[in-house]
Structure 1
Amino acid sequence: MDARQRSSPETLARILVIDDEPSLTRSIAALLQAHDRLIETCGSVAEALSRLNASAYDLLLLDYRLPDATGLAVMDWLISHERRESVIMISAEHSTDAAIGALRRGARDFLLKPYTADQLRHAVNNALAQRQIERNQRQARQRLESSERMHRYLVENSLDLIYTLDVDGRFSYLNQRIESLLGHSRSTLIGHHFSEIIYPEDLERARFSFNERRTGRRATSNFELRLSRSQTMEGKAPQEPVTIVLNAMGIYNRDDAQAPAHYAGTYGAARDLSGPGHDIATRQPHHDPLTRLPNRELFRDRLDLAIAQARRRKGYIAVMFIDMDRFRFVNETYGESEGDALLRAIALRLRQSLRKGDTLTRHGSDEFLALLPDVGGRDDARIIAEKILDAFRQPFSVGDSEFAATLSLGLALHPEDGSCADELIQHASVAMHQVKSTGRDAHSFFAADMHANYRQRLSLEHEFRQALSRQELELHYQPLVSISRQRITGMEALVRWRHPRHGLVAPTRFIHMAEDAGIIHEISRWVIETGCAQLANWRQDHPDLRLSTNLSARDFDHPELDLSISRALSRHGLTAGSLELEITERLLVENGERISLRMQGLRNLGVGIVIDDFGSGYSSLTHMQSCNITRLKIDRRFVQDIKPAGHHPVVSVLAGIARGFDVQLAAEGVEHKEQLHALESLGCDEMQGFLFSRPVDAEEATRILDEYRHPGLPGHLPPPALTFQLSP
Structure 2
Amino acid sequence: MTFPQHIQPSQARILIVDDHPLVLSGLANILAGRGYIIETADCGLEAVRLLNTSLFDLVLLDLLLPDISGLEVMDYMHEHHMDVCVVVISGSANIDNAIGALHRGAFDFLRKTFPKEELLKTVDHALRQRWLAQDNQRLNQQLQASEKIHRYLLDSSPDIIYTLDEQGHLTYVNDRILPLLGWRAQELIGQHYTQLIHPSDLRRAEYALRQSTEKLQTTRNVELRMQSRHADSSMRLFSHELMRMTLPLKADDSPNTSPRWGTYGIAHDLTEHQRIDALVAHQAYHDILTGLPNRALFKDRLTLALLNAQRHHDMLAVMVLDIDRFKLVNDSLGHDLGDILLVEITHRLKAALRGSDTLSRLGGDEFTVLLTELTTSQDATQLANQCQACLRQPITLNNQVIHVSASLGIALYPEHGDTADELLKHADVAMYHQKANGKDGVVMFDTPMLQMGAEHMMLEHELHLALTHGELEMYYQPQVDAQTRQITGTEALMRWNHPLRGLLGAGEFLPLAEETGLIIPMTDWLLQAVCKDLKAFNQVGKQTLRMSINLPPQYLDRGNFVEKLQDVLRRHGLSAAQFEVEVTENICIRNPLNAIEQLHTLRRLGVRIAIDDFGTGYSSLSYLHKLPLDTLKIDRSFVMAIHADDSISPVVMAIISVAKGLNLHLVAEGVETETQLRTLAQAGCHTIQGFYFFKPMPKQALLLTLQKN
TM-score using structure 1 length: 0.46
Determine which structure has more spread, i.e. the larger CA radius of gyration: 2
Task: Give the structure, 1 or 2, with the largest relative contact order (CA under 8 Å, sep 6 or more).
Answer: 1
